[in-house]
Amino acid sequence: MLFLKMSFFYLLTNSFELWPDAYKCPENIEKSGARRPIFGVYLMVSGMLFLILYIPCFITICQAKSFTPAYQLMFIIGISDMASLIHSSLIPGYLDFYGITFCEYPLFFFLNGSFCNIAWMTDCFACILLAIERCVEVNPKFCLYFLLEPKVFRVVRSVLIVYAVYSLVFTIPMIFNTEFSCYLFDPMIGKDPSSYRNYSHAANNLLVAVSTTTLNFYLCYYLIFKYGYSTSMWLYKSKRQIILQGVILCFFHAAAGLIYEYMQSFPTPQWLIIVGHIVWQMSCGCLSIVYLTLNRTVRNSVLKMLIPKRIRKKLGLHIGVEEHLAAENGEGVGSGGERIAVLNAGGAVIKFDNYFQN
């Protein structure tokens, strides 16, 4: 099968040598590429900022020590997003800044594209599952609820791992092209472009665009029209913030997948190529901003981790129910670390570590 010779599998079974029929550069090819120092600096700086914001959020998720499907998926998405930020921002930024091309370091470009595949495709699969989890969270009778049951979810998680391995080992990698500042499957070294088509990647992008849009549309519809009107300000803010989270994540993943698929098949203006790459970068990094602005549980945990308690006390920054009660009573928080259940206006218990607490 031709695609196996153009995949990471061939590299592993042939002493890390690329298949020459597809990836050997002609001797007379121009090796120097177009330099875009401004865009390169933007990618490196913005990518580093996203990573700086993401790392404490990811540490907070790890410290939660929760094995619910939501936290397991958030953990997988966190790893995929941070890896994607390296492949969508730091490495392309460096290559764009210096105008480095595939023919200068073919093995590096190939490996970078292979790991780019696993980061993006795993992230897409996990985001679809997380969208399903959100729908089940607001409506326990949602038709796909069974996927999150403990025994079934173990199978789903195994399928996700197999899918990740498949995307790394058995698919054709994307090659970053400094002439256009984007990833293309065709390394553009004079070979037939149609032979580099990655149908698994195309199916992945179309699936994530359709499924996340459908699931988040259902989520918004259910919260707005089915959940009913409530006088509780807490419920109103929670619904609004859950909808915002879903819309933001859905938009960037769907837009990135569709633009990149369009670029692989049709002539595309340079401005749309740049927009597509930035949208992909945002799909990897926006979750850190969502966590810090729309998810109070993660935001409070990050603040607790980064700002010492004595400084928070001086600033009057009381985080969590325990610290607010201690401030009102003039007492310190108990050393036993007791968790306190809060009642909203409707009388329902709000769990402190609930993923949707905002």
- Into how many domains does the chain fold? 2
* Three-point CA angle 321, 323, 324, nearest 5°: 65
Tell me whether residue 357 is in a domain.
no
User: Is 85 within the bounds of a domain?
Assistant: yes
pLDDT at 237: 61
> How far is 293 from 272, CA to CA, in rounded Å?
29
- Do 130 and 14 fall into the same domain? yes
The string of DSSP letters for 49-74 reads HHHHHHHHHHHHHHHT---SHHHHHH
Same domain, 122 and 164: yes
Same-domain check for residues 51 and 35: yes
14 and 33 belong to one structural domain: yes
Closest of 70, 8, 92 to residue 284, by C-alpha: 92
pLDDT at 355: 40
Same domain as 240, residue 322: no
Task: Please give the backbone phi and psi of residue 350, each rounded to the nearest 5 degrees, phi first.
Answer: -100, 115
Ranges of the chain whose pLDDT falls below 50:
231, 321, 324-325, 327, 331-358
Work out the burial of residue 161: count CB atoms within 10 Å of its CB; fewer than 13 is exposed, 13-18 middle, 19 or more buried: exposed
Picking from 288, 304, 320, the residue at the C-terminal end of a domain is 304
Distances (CA, A) of 224 to 80, 137, 220: 31, 15, 6
Domain annotation covers residue 358 = no
Is 223 among the domain residues?
A: yes
Q: Do 215 and 279 belong together in one domain?
A: yes
Together in a domain, 138 and 231: yes
What distance in Å separates the CA atoms of residue 230 and residue 222, rounded to the nearest whole number? 14
Alpha helices in 170-308 (DSSP H): 199-221, 233-265, 270-294, 296-306
Give yes or no: residues 207 and 313 share one domain: no
- Residue 296's nearest CA partner among 222, 343, 245 is 245
Q: Are residues 88 and 72 in the same domain?
A: yes
Residues 162 and 104 in one domain: yes
Q: Has residue 252 been placed in a domain?
A: yes
Q: Strand 175-177 to strand 182-184: parallel, antiparallel, or no bridges (unpaired)? A: antiparallel
**Is there a domain that residue 355 lies in?**
no
Residue 200: CATH number of its domain: 1.20.1070.10
Same domain, 315 and 289: no
- Contact between 107 and 142 under an 8 Å Cβ cutoff? The reply is no
pLDDT score recorded for residue 144: 87
pLDDT for residue 356 = 40
Any domain includes 356: no
Of the residues 289, 304, 319, which one is the last residue of a structural domain?
A: 304
Q: Is residue 276 part of a domain?
A: yes
Token representation of residue 264: 């692989």
pLDDT at 235: 53
- Beta-carbon contacts of 243 under 8 Å, excluding residues fewer than 6 positions away, are 219, 220, 223, 224
Determine the pLDDT at residue 326.
52
Q: Which domain holds residue 342?
A: 308-350
Residues with Cβ within 8 Å of 62's Cβ and at least 6 positions away in sequence, in order, are: 75
| Residue 115 shares a structural domain with residue 202 | yes
Instruction: Measure CA of the first residue to CA of the last residue in the chain; give whole Å.
Output: 50
Q: Is 134 exposed, middle or buried (0-12, 13-18, 19+ CB in 10 A)?
A: buried
Q: Which residues contact 219 (CB under 8 A, 6 or more apart)?
A: 131, 134, 135, 138, 242, 243, 246
